[in-house]
Structure 1
Amino acid sequence: MKTRKCKVLVVGGGPGGYPAAIRAGQLGLDTVIVEGDRLGGTCLIRGCIPSKAVIHAATEFKHAKDYAANQTMGISVKDPEIDMEKMIGWKSKIVDRLSGGVQMLLKKAGVEAVAGWATFEDAKTCVVEREGEEKLKITAEHVILANGSTETELPFMPFDGDIVISSTHALELKEVPKHLVVIGAGYIGLELGIAYAKLGSKVTFVEALDRIMPLFDAEMTKPVMQWLKKHDVDVRLSCKAKGLTEKDGKTHLEFETAEGETDSVRASKVLVAVGRKPCTQNWGLENMGVDMDGAFVKADQQCRTAMRDVWAIGDLIGEPMLAHKATAQGEMVAEIIAGHRRVHDPVSIAAVCFTEPEVVGVGLTPDEAKEAGHETVIGRFPLSASGRALAVNAGDSGFVRVTARKSDHVILGIHAVGAHIAEMSGEFALAVEMGARLEDIAGTIHVHPTMTEAFAESALAALGHPIHIPA
């Protein structure tokens, strides 16, 4: 067995692990990263990036269908068709390019990338099983665990990759399912379900809660519900999936309604999107001596675990299970190891749902601010009053809403819904993180015509003197 000693060992090449390794390499630390699949992790290979590619392709196809039916914007086309194999191939090329880019960046930073599955013998030593090569034992001074998360299965209906599929399977389908049932109306289920509705599937959502997208309030989710209703997407709320059944030779999903009755719906495919769980199995976590916090590895604000010089980041240590959180933590840990003074203490982390329309949330909602004891002022600007939104056919629904403390106008939260609104999430996050006041946003000249003007107008509305809507 070959052996290797290093300063920093990173396990997991996803959006937490590879930035940690790159930053460690930039800081001159002898760093090894081990990844059992492909560099880029779930986000790049089978999550964030490929799903957004499929969502974009589905949206373009929907636009083409609208042009064919209605000559929208004066554009007319003949019956558009979708070739799923070519679309998936296009998506895969994007993934390949980005994964190759990660490999190049690691090399440029002086990081050694090892392909294989790491199993820990103790807190600082792992053995890597490598395909076609002898095993490699790595001992490190510092270990960064970035193992990520995986889809949660229903115990009574495990994934089979055929009828019962995960989000990963949904991104590899070679045909558009005629009847797609999505269990779970959170962000993953809604994003993929809406994409397949655009591609032509008859989509039904089965959600155990009494509303969709529980992270957002009713005002935020209303435009999404309106889109679903307009496009004949069936949403069954307060319904619990029970299992598959056969009726007249066809597969159906059986579920229990809010009234306690049993109902069913036709299903060519059943996409189970009920959440994700941390990857804690089969890599020797039990040999490392770290503490657990329920299903997650317990870590402090510097991502330190109970074991000295063992760090854990990203989905492995809990909510929010977001790629950009993992990236920030990975960079921070590398800098702490190098002797910098850092702590993970963001004011807020933006969350985005790439639904139709898109939804963004940063910081406190009006209700959350009230519950926290704040007296607030709220400004709301509809996208129907935005010239840019109307010019790009994105003004039918949506708005930007800002919540600020009444006493000093410090912004506590920003929430928005609308087409292309995800691209404004960075500005929203920056405003909350920097402790901006309403006057800071209103006094910043926003480019005309852009969607960002809606943010400035929402601040003006909270101050009581908007320009493009009545005060």
Structure 2
Amino acid sequence: MSDTNFDLVVVGSGPGGYVAAIRAAQLGMKTAVIEREHLGGICLNWGCIPTKALLRTADIYNLIKHADAFGIKVEGASVDIKKTVERSRQVAGQLSGGVQHLLKKNKVTVIDGHGKLAGSGKVDVSKDGKKVSTVSAKHIILATGARARTLPGLEPDGKLIWTYKEALVPDVTPKKLLVVGSGAIGIEFASFFNSLGSDVTVVEVMDRILPVEDAEISSFAEKSFKKQGMTIHKGTTVSELKKSGNTVTATFKDKKDKTSSDTFDRVILAVGIVGNVENIGLEGTKVKVEKTHVVVDDYSRTGEPGVYAIGDLTGPPWLAHKASHEGVICVEKIAGEKDVHPLNTANIPGCTYCHPQVASVGLTEEAAKAKGYELKVGRFPFIGNGKAIALGEPEGLIKTIFDAKTGEMLGAHMVGAEVTELIQGYGIAKTLETTEVELMHSIFPHPTLSEMMHESVLDAYGKAIHF
């Protein structure tokens, strides 16, 4: 590499890193990205994208299983797990190539290797454990992401006990599967394998599944999952995983210390993530780390001058779109752009691509009450919507929460078909600080699922028409 001096160097090319690099290049900065594995990072290669490809197979298979209701006769349908995984990997590979094209198009230098801070304005690059170069930059963004958390006694082995990475490339469809953790990652895998025919058990230490979601939505989703055949244990921990041959026996302990056990073909651990803070040169710097995550201010600045951190490395919410937005804000602040504002996490939508889908933005009803708001809450069920019935998807709920005094929309929560697409309508409303009046006066097309968004708002104020 002939040129080692840059305006900005980004360590990591995930959805935070590559977006930050492209935006910096657009703003005239001479930019480089250091990546040790795959362009696009975990999200594109081993997370968001390949999981959605797998879940698409599950969606299609679910439709086939109910084809008769649509007047279509299908016999002998089955899932080829090998081809399903191959398609998922092809999708990830295509998009990784797309990131490479975008970086090249924007004249961002891509450096193959592991980046590590090496003193003021410098980053050492190593390959296969050997230093190959040092690059310099006035500004350095750390975007090294995170990895799956492991718990003592529940360590993955990649064969019988999986993390998300092994779960993305399964060699078999387990007959009996245990999923430890019911956040977005755990529930998506539980939903995928359940749709393919696995006997799925989910264990969650909290008192409800999908614990970051509104309690009413969590309860609705749980009933749906149980109806589909899942077994769900709440308020329960897995105290031991004992391997024997090709099976794993799990010991469960509830809040009353009552124990039970069951045997599974495979186990998926989905108990959170930890930041990749090791071996990136933080020692001897003023960068502060708390609970495996780098501490930053509103503009992603660390305690070390000229060093910034974005994305999963800096903590929750662990979402690709949060990382991308942070990257843009960070770079635009560095460039001195006008009208740069800190990220408002209350406006970040969250999506879980299980069946039925779950999506939300803003405060839950419980959180809004805890903040002292007087509330108006609206609900509208999918069964009252013509498009949902025509699609054969009458199971779902849309819930909206407003400040009774000002009409401000505080939160929106959904469960049902395509809600991961619908939620952005409320995301825009939150960003624009829309009140119930603007939403009520907005015209929603018919027949669409989006009409339920309108009706839910109307219901909060006693004006719902179709419910």
| TM-score band w.r.t. shorter chain | over 0.9
Identity %: 35
Displacement of 1:432 in angstroms is: 1.1
- Matched-pair contact (CA < 8 Å) for 2:294–2:313: yes
1:143 alignment counterpart: 140
Displacement of 1:163 in angstroms is: 0.8
Matches within 5 A, 1:320-359: 320-341=317-338, 342-346=340-344, 347-359=346-358
1:43 alignment counterpart: 43
- Matched-pair contact (CA < 8 Å) for 1:2–1:137: no
Q: Deviations over 1:103-141 (max 9, x none)?
A: 111111110011111122224212212369971211111
Distance (whole Å) between structure 2 residues aligned to residue 287 and residue 104 of structure 1: 37
Displacement of 1:2 in angstroms is: 6.8
Counterpart amino acid of residue 356 in structure 1: H
1:14 alignment counterpart: 14
Counterpart amino acid of residue 90 in structure 2: K
1:429 alignment counterpart: 427
The counterpart of 2:400, out of the listed 399, 402, 423, is: 402
Displacement of 1:99 in angstroms is: 0.5
Distance (whole Å) between structure 2 residues aligned to residue 249 and residue 435 of structure 1: 55
- Matched-pair contact (CA < 8 Å) for 2:214–2:365: no
SS in 2 for 1:285: coil
Distance (whole Å) between structure 2 residues aligned to residue 407 and residue 143 of structure 1: 45
Aligned-pair Cα RMSD in Å: 1.8
Displacement of 1:368 in angstroms is: 1.8
Distance (whole Å) between structure 2 residues aligned to residue 238 and residue 460 of structure 1: 36
Matches within 5 A, 1:45-444: 45-67=45-67, 71-130=68-127, 135-245=132-242, 250-341=247-338, 342-346=340-344, 347-395=346-394, 397-444=395-442
Displacement of 1:12 in angstroms is: 0.6
Displacement of 1:408 in angstroms is: 2.4
Distance (whole Å) between structure 1 residues aligned to residue 157 and residue 443 of structure 2: 54
- Matched-pair contact (CA < 8 Å) for 2:214–2:413: no
- Structure 1, 84-93 or 7-16: larger mean CA deviation: 84-93
- Structure 1, 189-198 or 113-122: larger mean CA deviation: 113-122
Displacement of 1:463 in angstroms is: 2.5
Distance (whole Å) between structure 2 residues aligned to residue 399 and residue 313 of structure 1: 34
1:468 alignment counterpart: 466
Counterpart amino acid of residue 297 in structure 1: V
Residues 123 and 191 (structure 1 numbering): CA distance in 2 closer, same or farther, change over 3 Å?
farther
Distance (whole Å) between structure 1 residues aligned to residue 211 and residue 109 of structure 2: 42
Displacement of 1:350 in angstroms is: 1.1
- Structure 1, 232-241 or 94-103: larger mean CA deviation: 232-241
Distance (whole Å) between structure 2 residues aligned to residue 25 and residue 258 of structure 1: 53
Counterpart amino acid of residue 332 in structure 1: I
Displacement of 1:3 in angstroms is: 6.5
Residues matched between the structures, number: 465
Residues 417 and 31 (structure 1 numbering): CA distance in 2 closer, same or farther, change over 3 Å?
same
Unaligned runs of 5+ in 1: none
Q: Deviations over 1:48-100 (max 9, x none)?
A: 11111111111211222333xxx121111002111111111111111111111
- Matched-pair contact (CA < 8 Å) for 1:120–1:288: no
Residues 77 and 130 (structure 1 numbering): CA distance in 2 closer, same or farther, change over 3 Å?
same
SS in 1 for 2:66: helix
- Structure 1, 446-455 or 17-26: larger mean CA deviation: 446-455
- Matched-pair contact (CA < 8 Å) for 1:2–1:136: no
Displacement of 1:442 in angstroms is: 1.4
SS in 1 for 2:421: helix
2:27 alignment counterpart: 27
Counterpart amino acid of residue 254 in structure 1: T
Counterpart amino acid of residue 462 in structure 1: A
Displacement of 1:431 in angstroms is: 0.6
Distance (whole Å) between structure 1 residues aligned to residue 356 and residue 240 of structure 2: 31
- Matched-pair contact (CA < 8 Å) for 2:276–2:292: no
SS in 2 for 1:181: strand
Displacement of 1:246 in angstroms is: 5.7
Displacement of 1:365 in angstroms is: 2.0
- Matched-pair contact (CA < 8 Å) for 1:10–1:143: yes
TM-score by length of 1: 0.95
Q: Deviations over 1:304-354 (max 9, x none)?
A: 111112111111111111111110010111111211142323242111111
Displacement of 1:258 in angstroms is: 3.2
- Structure 1, 360-369 or 107-116: larger mean CA deviation: 360-369
Counterpart amino acid of residue 455 in structure 2: E
SS in 2 for 1:212: coil
Distance (whole Å) between structure 2 residues aligned to residue 249 and residue 317 of structure 1: 38
